[in-house]
Chains A and B, each alone.
Chain A
Amino acid sequence: MAIPIQRVTFDRTLLLVMPAALFMMLLFIYPFLYGLLLSLNPPEGDWLDNYQKFFTTDNLWPTIWTTLRLAVPVTLINVGLALPIAFKMRVHTRYQRWITTILVVPVSLGTVLIAEGMLTYFGPKGWLVQTIQFLHLYEGSIRLTHNFWGVLISLVISGFPFCFLLILSYITGIDPALARAAATLGAGRADQFRQIYLPLLAPGLAICFCLAFVQSFSVFPSAVLLGAPAGPTRVISIAAYEAAFEQYDYSLASAIAMIMGFVQLLIVAAVLGLRNLFYRGPAMGGKG
């Protein structure tokens, strides 16, 4: 929306956005396009050879499913857990700040600490197994590391705090007067949540879902450290890394990266498309 007068006298404030825009063009868009071209120029063969290779090689194309099989449940768990807990924490109380801080601490742990800790804690002689055997809860063997579950748990631990913070900030952005108004009109707590909070949160939840999905979709270190990188947790980023830094086939690596970005954007587009079914706009009940 151009205000006509701006065509006459150039608004110099617009210059302020230029450095950042230029930077992103140079370091994000250009490499991206470069990668795209690179992926279409394999060292030998046809221009679509890399993509054909990816979708016909047995240790490449299944990585998409492996990644999605991890990323989708992890994102659902993270958003699904964060939503009710953030909803519970929305009211300002003495404890709110404390609990919020404690729940955010795992952000600082880092993949390696989580991995090391899980290997020790969930390990065959770890505290968890010892406790369970001590209490005679379960006698069979428990394996929570070096497999699918290990990666899943580690992704939940590192992803949940982020979802929680984001959703909490969306929830506290909803004017509490709306819920009060609904209450005076006869809506109980469940109805207040369903009719007021959920529809107003939908756009925020979509954003949160996308961001959480990016995090778990690009899982790399934890899949190596806690999973079985040769088998069940051979995710797509491992394939890309191997192509680039073990086989030095940058062309194929770029192709894998492009496929990865494409799948990611497909999911994001689907989620944001769903979001458009809901109301978008200020979560306030009138003039503020």
Chain B
Amino acid sequence: MSTVSQPVVPTPRKPIPRIAGRAIERAWLDRVWSGFLWGVMLLFLLNIGAIIAAVATSSFARRWLGTWLPDGWTTNWYLAAWKEFQLGSVLWVTTEIVGAVVLIALVLGVPAAYTLARRDFPGKRFLMLLFLLPLMVPPITYGIPLATVLYKLRLAGTMNGVILANLIPAVPFVILVMTPFIEQIDRNIESAARVFGASTLQMFRHVLVPLLGPGILAASLLVLVRTIALFELTFLTAGPDSQTLVVALYYAVFAAGVRAPQSVDAMAMIYMVVTLVWLLIAMRFVDPTQLVSRVKEHPQRA
């Protein structure tokens, strides 16, 4: 419990003369509640661990039918999945699409976030709404009309179409993540740069971008992870040559019957590893607790 309570009560070295009965009762309740929470967390993680382990086991299993562990082990399913689902080209397409989305989203999003963080202007609330709305409505809602428009423009089924579709949630996401980062940079630094004669562009290049480095990194990693995982929009707009890994994976399962489930599992494992690596990298650079707002924790030693 001592991890939660701020005032940690030390074990007394001498007996304490009086402690109210309610305090003891409350300490007991605290412990029960805390135990319950740990239990829930443990249950959650245990089951997730088992789910991952089940897929992992299956992907390496020679044959696994209703026993604790499979009869034998093999890595053939990975090879099979690689060939059968053309994973090489799928991964390459995914990389291209995700890379393009991250880059374009940053180019569009960071300047917009800067303006929104720094300026007050008529129509700002409308723009905020415009940037927030795509995150607030289900992707399918705008994905279907978007796909229709893209079909008319002959963009659906192409890489460009998929990139455009994925940018719709990515740009607002960059803005959302970057705004607090920009807000916490002291305006005086910019003023100083201006006083010393930097133009807007120079100020951006030499002052803001280096200062925003961590924020930009955070935003790009988060957009990257999100785009890899975003299913609906790619699903609605992709053609056979522009599928990302998630969509290819979905089709692999959907058309399961003919294929061995183990090779689907192998592919799912590859997907998890790809996302997990990027996620862990992201977690190294982004303190998730500081995404929304930042409080300077006043150090207790003053």
**Which A residues form the contact surface with B (CB < 8 A)?**
1-3, 6, 11-14, 16-17, 19-21, 23-25, 27-32, 34-36, 38, 81, 84-85, 87-88, 90-93, 95-96, 99-118, 120-121, 125-128, 130, 157, 160, 165-166, 168-177, 179-180, 183, 188-190, 204, 210-211, 214, 217-218, 220-221, 224-225, 237, 240-241, 244, 250, 253-254, 256-258, 260-261, 264-265, 268, 283-284, 288
CB <8 Å contact, B149 and A108: no
CB <8 Å contact, A244 and B250: no
Instruction: From the candidates A81, A92, A99, A115, name the one contacting B253 in the complex (CB within 8 A).
Output: A115
Q: Taking A19-B112, A224-B254 as contacts, is the C-beta distance between A107 and B3 under 8 angstroms?
A: no
Q: Taking A16-B114, A31-B146 as contacts, is the C-beta distance between A23 and B108 under 8 angstroms?
A: yes
CA A85 to CA B264, docked complex, whole Å: 34
CB <8 Å contact, A250 and B292: no
**B271 interface residue (CB < 8 Å to A):** yes
A-B contact count (CB 8 A): 301
CB distance from B175 to the nearest CB of A (A): 7
CA A90 to CA B295, docked complex, whole Å: 12
Instruction: From the candidates A105, A172, A254, name the one contacting B48 in the complex (CB within 8 A).
Output: A105
CB distance from B102 to the nearest CB of A (A): 15
CB <8 Å contact, A108 and B275: yes
**B154 interface residue (CB < 8 Å to A):** no
In the complex, which range does the number of interface residues on chain B fall in?
35 or more
CB distance from A115 to the nearest CB of B (A): 7
Instruction: From the candidates B3, B48, B115, name the one contacting A95 in the complex (CB within 8 A).
Output: B3
Query: What are 16 A-B pairs at a CB distance below 8 A?
Result: A28-B134, A31-B148, A31-B149, A34-B148, A85-B40, A88-B3, A91-B4, A109-B275, A110-B275, A112-B246, A168-B288, A221-B231, A221-B250, A257-B141, A261-B142, A284-B295
Instruction: From the candidates A13, A113, A211, A254, name the one contacting B136 in the complex (CB within 8 A).
Output: A211
> Assuming A91-B6, A170-B292, A218-B138, what are 14 further A-B pairs, CB within 8 angstroms?
A11-B119, A27-B146, A28-B142, A34-B148, A109-B48, A111-B246, A113-B272, A116-B253, A117-B268, A121-B50, A174-B295, A241-B144, A257-B144, A261-B138
